[in-house]
């Protein structure tokens, strides 16, 4: 566990890289700031001693000037310490966000398909946000506490070695013992809180997506109760965390008082034996009392540490996760001349989904794949897109093993229309243009016409300029499907993989699309997946799939 935590801390610290100067500045200013706060009081005590005639004979104006300087420095140094720390933290959060989004791109779509969406949103938003605590309030403060404590222990030890030892014990108790105990006690609560937070996110997303089903089947109250249960769980775990936080801060305060008293008592005892004078005892006591700031910051920091470490671990795990199919950047760039599967076998987990599949897709024409729901048709398309790699056999594009083809080239020659088309907020024109941002309006209109959606778009008051939110829920599954098809046709790739492109369409619209596909198939290769045998009439050749086998 400790090994794991050290590994997370090391990996997070390694990310600081070029921001190291900002960290060093933060630490340097922090140490000087705390020292000036302590010496402000030490000098004030010395000045008082001077007034009562028991202190060193330093000149009063000089002491006053030094006190004034310490007070001024304390404020200025604190400000710049915070500035440097936060500058580093927020720059790092930007770097981390960038890396996380690159990781998501790398992992999409296969790995992301398997992840819980609520959990993903927690990682992208709150986990990264929480790392601000690590960078701005952990790395710097730990280094500041270490340096400032060493310097103050030496200073107190210079009054008397025994008092120096008490100071070391005091700093270790408040700065190490309390944080370690607190972080141990809080680990389970922090994990429970985080789990309930992720569950609440997932539940909320699911509730929003399933709103119409919930209303249709009158399950509103169930959902409400579910939300209440999750919120209560979150509330409970947060309350437990807060209770622990209170206990920690009470324990830290008690230790501060105890050790300040201990230095005073030990000092008086040493003074009675004539081994210290009053000025030294007072100086050591004031130095002890006023120097707990950096270590006390560590004890309150440890309340958040379990959460921060857990967040860091999840972010680092995401960054280091390997994609299902590694991106090929140096592989062959091919011109599409057909595709083939040879004795392909595939399982998502343990259960075989595809067994010994062989098929040949010519350079032009429509290849139909027909089969019952769950027979593995979409999975086969995903292998042809190389979202996943086959476990056995070979998938070839233009005669090349798909695993050796440059990924960018593969994305250029293939267009995949899934059963669900996602539309982005923006105009319908932008949504179709997604496939080819530089497309002219005429090209977009032609693609929309071929996909049988042009007439519908023109019937809208603002035509292609209609924004998605203006349609609200008024866009049907069939219309979305046709926009998806228009995108694929506009993309201009020579190999189209269409997964049930007409499943939500009436006979008339299906006929329009089939006609367009027949025209497109003169210059392109199209795989048409459908469970309807009627759709297969458009295909030049048809493969039938049943329980992962092909006939």
Which residues lie near ligand ATP (CB under 6 A)? 113, 348, 353, 371, 373-379, 531
Q: How far is the CB of 533 from ligand ATP (least distance, A)?
A: 13
CB 149 within 8 A of CB 175: yes
Q: Which CB sits closer to ligand ATP, 141 or 371?
A: 371
Q: If DSSP codes are grouped into helix, strand and coil, which group holds residue 391?
A: coil
CB 395 within 8 A of CB 402: yes
CB atoms within 10 A of CB 465: 13
Q: How far is the CB of 247 from ligand ATP (least distance, A)?
A: 45
Q: Which CB sits closer to ligand ATP, 140 or 371?
A: 371
Residue 496: name the closest of 519, 459, 518, 526 by CA.
526
In sign, the C-alpha dihedral spanning 483, 486, 487, 488 is: positive
Instruction: Using alpha carbons only, give the angle 425, 325, 343 rounded to the nearest 5 degrees.
Output: 115
Q: What are the φ and ψ backbone dihedral angles of 264, each rounded to 5 degrees?
A: -60, -50
Alpha-carbon span 523 to 526, nearest angstrom: 10
495-499 and 525-530 beta bridge pairing = parallel
Q: How far is the CB of 129 from ligand ATP (least distance, A)?
A: 30
Q: How far is the CB of 530 from ligand ATP (least distance, A)?
A: 8
Alpha-carbon span 74 to 290, nearest angstrom: 13
Q: Which CB sits closer to ligand ATP, 46 or 377?
A: 377
Q: How far is the CB of 113 from ligand ATP (least distance, A)?
A: 5
CB 505 within 8 A of CB 517: no
Q: How far apart are the first and last CA of the chain?
A: 53
Residue 369 bridge partners (DSSP): 529, 543
Q: How far is the CB of 124 from ligand ATP (least distance, A)?
A: 21
Per-residue CA distances from 71 to 99, 162, 290 (Å) = 42, 30, 14
Alpha-carbon span 280 to 268, nearest angstrom: 10
Q: How far is the CB of 374 from ligand ATP (least distance, A)?
A: 4
Q: Which CB sits closer to ligand ATP, 21 or 374?
A: 374
Q: Which CB sits closer to ligand ATP, 283 or 379?
A: 379
Q: How far is the CB of 297 from ligand ATP (least distance, A)?
A: 47
Q: Which CB sits closer to ligand ATP, 278 or 348?
A: 348
Alpha-carbon span 311 to 127, nearest angstrom: 5
Q: How far is the CB of 498 from ligand ATP (least distance, A)?
A: 12
Q: How far is the CB of 321 from ligand ATP (least distance, A)?
A: 16
Q: How far is the CB of 545 from ligand ATP (least distance, A)?
A: 7
Q: Which CB sits closer to ligand ATP, 277 or 352?
A: 352
CB contact set of 382 (below 8 Å; sequence gap of 6+):
110, 388
Q: Which CB sits closer to ligand ATP, 148 or 353?
A: 353
CB contact set of 202 (below 8 Å; sequence gap of 6+):
116, 117, 118, 119
Alpha-carbon span 140 to 387, nearest angstrom: 43
CB 47 within 8 A of CB 39: no
Q: Which CB sits closer to ligand ATP, 419 or 466?
A: 419
Q: Which CB sits closer to ligand ATP, 137 or 377?
A: 377
Q: Which CB sits closer to ligand ATP, 33 or 376?
A: 376
Q: How far is the CB of 200 from ligand ATP (least distance, A)?
A: 25
Q: How far is the CB of 415 from ligand ATP (least distance, A)?
A: 18
CB contact set of 269 (below 8 Å; sequence gap of 6+):
none
Q: Which CB sits closer to ligand ATP, 37 or 545?
A: 545
Bond from prior residue into 142 cis (ω within 30 degrees of 0): no
Q: Which CB sits closer to ligand ATP, 77 or 353?
A: 353
Alpha-carbon span 38 to 288, nearest angstrom: 9
Q: Which CB sits closer to ligand ATP, 111 or 137?
A: 111
Alpha-carbon span 271 to 269, nearest angstrom: 5
Q: How far is the CB of 123 from ligand ATP (least distance, A)?
A: 20
Bond from prior residue into 408 cis (ω within 30 degrees of 0): no
Count how many residues are written for the chain: 551
Alpha-carbon span 257 to 277, nearest angstrom: 23
With b for 16 or more beta-carbon neighbours within 10 A and e for fewer, the 380-401 pattern comes to bbbbbbbbbebeebebbbbebe
Alpha-carbon span 37 to 41, nearest angstrom: 7
């Amino acid at each position: 566990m400790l090994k794991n935590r050290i590994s997370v801390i090391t990996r997070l610290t390694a990310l600081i890289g070029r921001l190291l100067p900002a960290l060093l500045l933060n630490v340097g200013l922090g140490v000087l700031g705390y020292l000036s706060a302590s010496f402000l009081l030490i000098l004030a005590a010395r000045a008082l001693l001077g007034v009562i005639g028991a202190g060193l004979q330093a000149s009063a104006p000089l002491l006053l000037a030094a006190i004034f300087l310490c007070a001024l420095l304390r404020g200025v140094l604190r400000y710049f310490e915070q500035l440097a720390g936060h500058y580093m933290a927020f720059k790092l959060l930007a770097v981390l966000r960038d890396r996380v989004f690159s990781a998501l791109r790398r992992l999409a779509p296969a790995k992301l398909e398997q992840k819980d969406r609520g959990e993903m949103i927690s990682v992208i938003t709150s986990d990264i946000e929480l790392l601000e605590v690590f960078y701005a309030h952990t790395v710097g403060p730990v280094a500041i506490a270490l340096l400032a404590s060493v310097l103050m222990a030496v200073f107190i030890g210079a009054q008397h070695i025994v008092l120096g030892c008490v100071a070391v014990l005091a700093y270790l108790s408040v700065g190490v013992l309390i944080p370690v105990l607190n972080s141990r006690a809080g680990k389970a609560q922090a994990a429970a809180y985080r789990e309930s937070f992720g569950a609440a996110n997932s539940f909320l997303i699911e509730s929003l997506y399933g709103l119409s089903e919930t209303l249709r089947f009158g399950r509103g109250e169930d959902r409400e109760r579910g939300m209440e249960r999750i919120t209560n769980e979150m509330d409970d775990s947060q309350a437990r965390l807060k209770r622990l936080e209170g206990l920690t801060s009470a324990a830290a305060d008690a230790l501060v008082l105890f050790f300040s008293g201990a230095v005073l008592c030990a000092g008086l005892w040493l003074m009675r034996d004539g081994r210290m004078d009053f000025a030294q005892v007072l100086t050591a006591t004031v130095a002890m009392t006023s120097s707990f700031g950096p270590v006390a910051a560590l004890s309150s920091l440890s309340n958040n540490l379990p959460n921060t470490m857990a967040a860091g671990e999840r972010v680092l795990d995401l960054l280091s996760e390997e994609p299902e199919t590694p991106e090929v950047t140096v592989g062959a760039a091919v011109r599409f001349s057909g595709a083939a599967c040879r004795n392909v076998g595939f399982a998502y987990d343990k259960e075989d989904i595809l067994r010994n599949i062989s098929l040949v897709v010519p350079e032009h024409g429509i290849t139909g794949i027909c089969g019952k729901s769950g027979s593995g048709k979409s999975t086969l398309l995903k292998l042809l897109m190389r979202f996943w790699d086959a476990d056995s056999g070979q998938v070839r594009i233009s005669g090349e093993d798909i695993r050796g083809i440059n990924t960018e080239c593969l994305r250029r020659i293939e267009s995949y229309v899934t059963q669900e088309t996602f539309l982005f907020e923006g105009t319908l024109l932008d949504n179709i243009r997604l496939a080819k941002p530089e497309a002219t309006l005429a090209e977009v209109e032609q693609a929309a016409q071929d996909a049988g959606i042009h007439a519908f778009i023109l019937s809208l008051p603002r035509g292609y300029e209609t924004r998605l939110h203006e349609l609200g829920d008024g866009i049907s599954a069939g219309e979305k499907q046709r926009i998806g098809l228009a995108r694929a046709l506009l993309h201009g790739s020579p190999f189209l993989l269409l997964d049930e492109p007409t499943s939500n369409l009436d006979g008339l619209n299906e006929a329009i699309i089939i006609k367009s596909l027949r025209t497109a198939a003169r210059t392109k290769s199209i795989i048409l997946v459908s469970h309807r045998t009627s759709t297969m009439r458009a295909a030049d050749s048809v493969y039938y799939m049943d329980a992962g086998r092909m006939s």
